[in-house]
Structure formats: C-alpha cells, structure tokens
Structure 1
C-alpha cells in the first residue's frame, strides 16, 4: 500500500504492507465555494455583530492587517471585494494601508510582497511590514487583566478604521486563529507577544477552545483595546480553498466561524496509536520548524506515550527563528530544555523548543526534512535521512493487525479521542 503526504510544494510517498491497517485521519472532504469572490461580496453585504462598514464612510485612514507568508490566506479573493467596498464608501486608495502581520517572524521585504498579495493590490495600495522590535513604530496601550503589556503597531492603531483579514483554523494553544489575533499578535510588540504566549502553559490553553482559553481571551482584550472594528475571515478546506467567509464585529465572526471551522478540521479516532505518520500539510505549513512543530503537537494528541511519531516536513527556510536555534545549541537532552526554560522564564523562540520537547519526550520522535542533519541533531529532532527505512523499523515494533495513524494535514486537523 502506498500513501502520499504533502511535503513542501510537492509530496512524498511511503509504502506499507497491504495487510497493515492504516487510518487516514482527515476531516471529510469539503468542496470549495465555486465562486469565492461572490462569497466574499455576499459576506461583506451581510456583516455579523451589528456593525456595518458604511458607518465609516469617508474615513480619513484605514489600516488592514494581512497575514504573512507563513499563512495560506487567499488574499487574492478576500482583498479585492473588501477594497472595492471601501472605495465605494468614498475612501480613496491613498488612505488605505495594508500592514503585513508578521508577529515575531522576520519582517517581510517589499520583494516578498508579491508572494502574498496580488499585483492589483500592490500597484494601488500602500503595504508595509510590521516589525515587533521596532519601538519607534509601536504605541503602548496599558496592560490586560492578565498583566500583558499591550504594545501595538502605531500606524495601524491610529487608523480611523481598523480591519483584520485572515482565516479561522485551530491553534495549538490559542484555541483558534482568526478575528483580532491577526492584529493583536500579528501587529503586536515583542513584549506583548512574549507575555501572551507565556499563557500557553496554562492548563486551559487548549487546541480548539475559545471562550475558556486564557491566551485567546487575553488576545481578545488586546484587540478590544486596539479598537479593531471589522474582521473578514475565511474558513478554508484542506486544499486551502475558501469554503465560508464571515465578516463583521470580530468576536461575532469568531463565534459564528468556529463551528464551521470544526466541521472542516475535527475528526475523531477510536483509540490512540503506537505509530503515527504526520505531515503539517505542505507549504506553507512546513516552511520552517517554527511552523512545522504543529504537526508534532497535533499528532501527539492521539499517540500513546512511548509510541512513535514520524514527522515529514520540508522546512526549506530552516528553523524560522534564530533565537530558538541559538538557544538550543549545546543542549543534550529534553531535560536540559525543560530545566533552562523553567529557570529563564518564558521567551519567544525558546518556547518552540519547549513545545517540541514537551511532546517529543513522550514518544519516539523521528524527523524527516531538508534541513542539514547536523543542525537537526543539535536541535534534538532525531533526524532521519531515509523515510521508508525509518517507517519499516517502526512498523516492526507493532503487533500484527495494529492500526497505523496517518495525519496528512496535521496543522489544520484536530484529532480527538471519541468516547
């Protein structure tokens, strides 16, 4: 039996014995909207939460938060109808600025903008990349009830109309992406993001939880303080195509969009597995280790302690975090990671090392990628160079007839144990 999984911009195939049961853990196939532009226009005409863009007719400045290259957002469908709507309200193109919400990622250069935004947008509107470390372009807004200092992009925060554009999908500790998160975190200061992400160690910081999730509700508080008016969010299928679009007041968009996202991404399993093969879902979900780690985290949800997880992620851009990479050098065990992380306190970058160690320490973890093997070893990723041979070795540890789990789109799939 041959099974194929996304890997970078292509795919990779492995072979399993025909008599070995394989459970493909994939949410039901959901067809994309046949006319995505019309779906966006309809959503813009029917905003949720009692807000209308017409309230902002003639606004002197508009800030729109858009996602960076690590998110598969169909800006080519979401942005043109939104921008048309704004101009129809008497807001000229020169009053509109698109802010690339990179969070703690490296700021994008103008040369990279065509990879995320259509030419029709780049030719007509101002686009700038956020930089979480550029204090000259941040404004302080106080602290949240949980003590998170709120630093936000100054230009965006001072805009008369503040819009977020993105998608609603599972997030491993904030519950779900979408809504104000694109700006509250994507356009936040380094200190803000660090304090918020430190909440990931809270027991209620769970994948798929929203109202009871401390980091997510902290994000909502930041978004409220920034004064984000309007969200335009898509729910995407596993092929990264638009299924639904919701617009309106950000919290109302989240509350309506989360059940739709769960329909697309949740899938139950009967029991946990002793062998799980996982792919984050190909580009851009495996663009670097920083993103690909989610493929491990989601696989771990339904893998037995002591079982095996094989993660296949191309990671053409390496680790995605120099701080994480530098912090890991010299460590010889996951215990070293836990000890130093605890002693130093939460830091962005090293938190990725903690997340990997948290899950990898509970299983036999193997990592197949295009990253230099010496670097992978230094990062305690237990790299393998021959995926098929590693799989064969793992299969040899299973009992006859024991099922193998296969997560081809792990980053956007929420597996859960039924019953």
Structure 2
C-alpha cells in the first residue's frame, strides 16, 4: 500500500507491504452536525458552566484574550471573529481588548506571524502582543509551591478569556484549558516548577484525574482566574469539528471527552515498527514540537522495536536548553539521571526522548544535518521510504508495522486499558 505522510509543507509517499501493516491509526469516525465557524458560534450560544460571554464582558474595561502562538494549530483566525462579534455586541470597544499570544518557553514571533494567526481584520482592530514582551506580576503560589507569575497584561486584566485547541499532552494529559495560563503566559521559573512533576508516573497522556502536574497547573487558576474559554478539537485537516465554551474546568473536560471519542485508538498489540508523523506543518517546525508524536508512538512499539519519527524540523531543535542537554550527554541514560536531580525546562524534552530510547531505536526523517542527528542518539534519514526500508532490514521481512499519520493527536491504547 502507498501512504501519504505529513512532512513540513510537502508530504512524502511511502510504500508498505500490506501483510505487514497491523493498522493505520486515523481518527475514529465521529459524526458532527456543524464544523468551523458555525460550530464555534453554536458553542458560544451554549456555554458550559458560565453565563453568556456577552454578560461576562459587559462593562469590562481591560479584556485580555489569550491564544496560541505559531507552534500550535489553533485556528485563532476562525474563532476570534466570532468571539469579538459578541464582545462588541456587549458594548466593548476594540481599544479595551488585548490579544496575548501565549509563548510559554517558545521564541518571539514576527508581526507577519501574528497577522497570519489572527487574520488581517482582527490584527487591524485589536492590539496583538506576545506574552514575552512584558514583565511579570507575582499573583501567588500554588499549594504545590509553584509561583504564579503572569505577564502583566493578563495579570492586570479585569476579564480573562482563553482560547486553545485540545489534543493529548504527554504529561499534562491534554492540552487546552488552564495550559493557556500555565505555562502559556507564565515565567520560565514558574513553568519549570510545574513541569518538574513530569517524571511522576501519574503525569501521562490522556490522564486528568490523579495527574499531579495537571492539578498544579489548574491550582494556579485560584491566583489567576479565567472568566471564559473557547477550546476546539481539530480533525486531521485542522478543521474545527467540536468547540466548547464556558468554565475553564467544566467546558475543558467536555472537550477532552470528545477528543477521546475522536483520537483514542485501541490496538490489539504493539508493533515492531511504528511510523509516526506530527502530520506536517506547523506541528513539525522543530524537534521540540515533533517530540510529541514520538511520545505517543512509544505506546505502540514493542520493546527493542523501531520508531520512524517523521518531522521536517526546519527550525532545528527549537529550544536552546533542549539542544544543549541532548548534545552534552554521552548516552541517553545520562539525560534521565540528570532530570532527576537538575530539572530544567527544555531538558525535560531531552529526558522524555531518552526514556523512549531506552526501549526502542528512533529513525528520524527530517531536514536536520545527519551528523547532528547522530549526535542526539537517533539515526538520520531524509526520506520516509529509506527509513522504513532500513527498519525492515534490521527487524526482518515479517516485522509488523503500525502507522500514526497524526501522532501528536492520536493516542494508541493496547486492549481495554
């Protein structure tokens, strides 16, 4: 069979023997009544756990809308016009609104990127800024000891609205919800304090209840409350297929339940070879983001199997500390030991990759220099077909294969677990 695998803006074609393919983990078929802007409008008319958006914003003078940066597929340009139409209808003027891009630990954005994210009409109407452009305000501390240090426009707002897309997250359980605040608009030190919990067994993909890291980031909401959220679930073409609005916990949980119906994939057994992609741009801009597909792929591969990880990584590693950790280690186990005593943001991604490498080889199909890839403990390839052919060469002609074309979104689960 021939398959198209996402790779940057130009997909690659790979041919696999039919008899070897255990499955292709596409999203489940879920019937939806509305999509796109129409679905956003439906959810805005039916908020979960809050009053209407119009009631919430009425009379507010400093409204901040937190949304995702260029590394996320969140379609802000679809959601924001629907949202702003209702905010304006409540009597709020554009000059009372600030859109803040939640950078977390990511790089700053160009004005062209900001315009692309929100669309020209919104960009011309409303002030659009990166969270990193400001100082931070200390708003308190979570019971777990994480400082709640929030960028000033968000901290000083009298109404906070958070946007995001919901997908699986390898230690926060799911993206969306409170992640817009922590880590979205928080300091690096605050993010590090929260993310240090990633090494705990309860911090894993698809888990909310009993996830100590998720609890800590939601505890931050006591210090920095959010008035309203709009969270969306996207299909493999990045179209909105479900939207939830309202309370940052209750509405988010409803979105997570829908995501499970769409992207949780039961498999009968693990495979010798797992071919996994982020699905192409923008999710595979760098290895820092592409790692998410690797993390989900690990749930599908046998011990000592091979993961063929596909990601353009045109921007390289994507984070300075991440790169430094990967290059300074002599072997993957060094990274696991280091994270236990010296947690650093960026280093956490290196440790997560190392934990995968303890159990499987990783063949990386990317634009990165081959020698550089070897130095970070992976085997480099420029073509998906070459990588798959080599995996069969090493594991034998009868090796089983699972394909995850949208690995950052799809969570494989063996049996009914």
Query: Taking structure 2 as the reference length, what is the TM-score of the superposition?
Result: 0.95
Separation in structure 2 between the aligned mates of residue 180 and residue 386 of structure 1, nearest angstrom: 38
Q: Trace 1:230-245 onto structure 2 (pairs within 5 A).
A: 230-245=228-243
**Taking structure 1 as reference, are residues 412 and 91 closer, same or farther at Cα in structure 2, changes over 3 Å only?**
same
Deviates more, 1:83-92 or 1:379-388: 379-388
SS of structure 1 residue aligned to 2:229: strand
Corresponding residue number in structure 2 for 1:308: 306
Separation in structure 1 between the aligned mates of residue 127 and residue 17 of structure 2, nearest angstrom: 55
Tell me how large the CA RMSD over aligned residues is: 1.8
Corresponding residue number in structure 2 for 1:164: 162
Separation in structure 2 between the aligned mates of residue 394 and residue 402 of structure 1, nearest angstrom: 9
Corresponding residue number in structure 2 for 1:94: 95
Separation in structure 2 between the aligned mates of residue 19 and residue 41 of structure 1, nearest angstrom: 46
Separation in structure 1 between the aligned mates of residue 263 and residue 334 of structure 2, nearest angstrom: 35
Q: Trace 1:112-131 onto structure 2 (pairs within 5 A).
A: 112-131=113-132
Corresponding residue number in structure 2 for 1:78: 79
Once the two structures are superposed, residues 297-346 of structure 1 have per-residue CA deviations (whole angstroms, 9 ceiling, x without a partner) of 11111111111111111011111101211233232211222233334x11
Find 1:379's aligned residue among 376, 380, 391. 376
Corresponding residue number in structure 2 for 1:229: 227
Find 1:356's aligned residue among 349, 353, 357. 353
Find 1:370's aligned residue among 367, 370, 375. 367
Corresponding residue number in structure 2 for 1:347: 344
Structure 1 position 29, deviation (Å): 4.0
Separation in structure 1 between the aligned mates of residue 302 and residue 376 of structure 2, nearest angstrom: 23
Find 2:325's aligned residue among 319, 324, 327. 327
**Taking structure 1 as reference, are residues 35 and 171 closer, same or farther at Cα in structure 2, changes over 3 Å only?**
closer
Structure 1 position 90, deviation (Å): 1.0
Corresponding residue number in structure 1 for 2:27: 27
Corresponding residue number in structure 1 for 2:112: 111
Corresponding residue number in structure 2 for 1:210: 208
Separation in structure 1 between the aligned mates of residue 187 and residue 252 of structure 2, nearest angstrom: 23
Once the two structures are superposed, residues 209-234 of structure 1 have per-residue CA deviations (whole angstroms, 9 ceiling, x without a partner) of 11221111111111232011100111
Corresponding residue number in structure 1 for 2:15: 15
Query: Taking structure 1 as the reference length, what is the TM-score of the superposition?
Result: 0.94
Structure 1 position 142, deviation (Å): 2.0
Separation in structure 2 between the aligned mates of residue 124 and residue 32 of structure 1, nearest angstrom: 32
Structure 1 position 119, deviation (Å): 0.4
Structure 1 position 244, deviation (Å): 1.1
Corresponding residue number in structure 1 for 2:278: 280
**Taking structure 1 as reference, are residues 400 and 310 closer, same or farther at Cα in structure 2, changes over 3 Å only?**
closer
> Is this contact kept in 2: 1:51–1:249, CA < 8 A?
no
Separation in structure 2 between the aligned mates of residue 187 and residue 21 of structure 1, nearest angstrom: 43
SS of structure 1 residue aligned to 2:322: helix
Separation in structure 2 between the aligned mates of residue 17 and residue 412 of structure 1, nearest angstrom: 25
| 2:64 equivalent to 1:63 | yes
**Taking structure 1 as reference, are residues 44 and 333 closer, same or farther at Cα in structure 2, changes over 3 Å only?**
same
Separation in structure 1 between the aligned mates of residue 280 and residue 307 of structure 2, nearest angstrom: 17
Structure 1 position 402, deviation (Å): 4.7
SS of structure 2 residue aligned to 1:347: coil
Deviates more, 1:362-371 or 1:25-34: 25-34
**Taking structure 1 as reference, are residues 355 and 46 closer, same or farther at Cα in structure 2, changes over 3 Å only?**
same
> Is this contact kept in 1: 2:148–2:186, CA < 8 A?
yes
Deviates more, 1:67-76 or 1:397-406: 397-406
Separation in structure 2 between the aligned mates of residue 385 and residue 376 of structure 1, nearest angstrom: 11
> Is this contact kept in 2: 1:174–1:207, CA < 8 A?
yes
Once the two structures are superposed, residues 355-395 of structure 1 have per-residue CA deviations (whole angstroms, 9 ceiling, x without a partner) of 11111221121111001222222222222245423322322
**Taking structure 1 as reference, are residues 142 and 353 closer, same or farther at Cα in structure 2, changes over 3 Å only?**
same
Give ranges in structure 1 of 5+ residues lacking alignment.
none
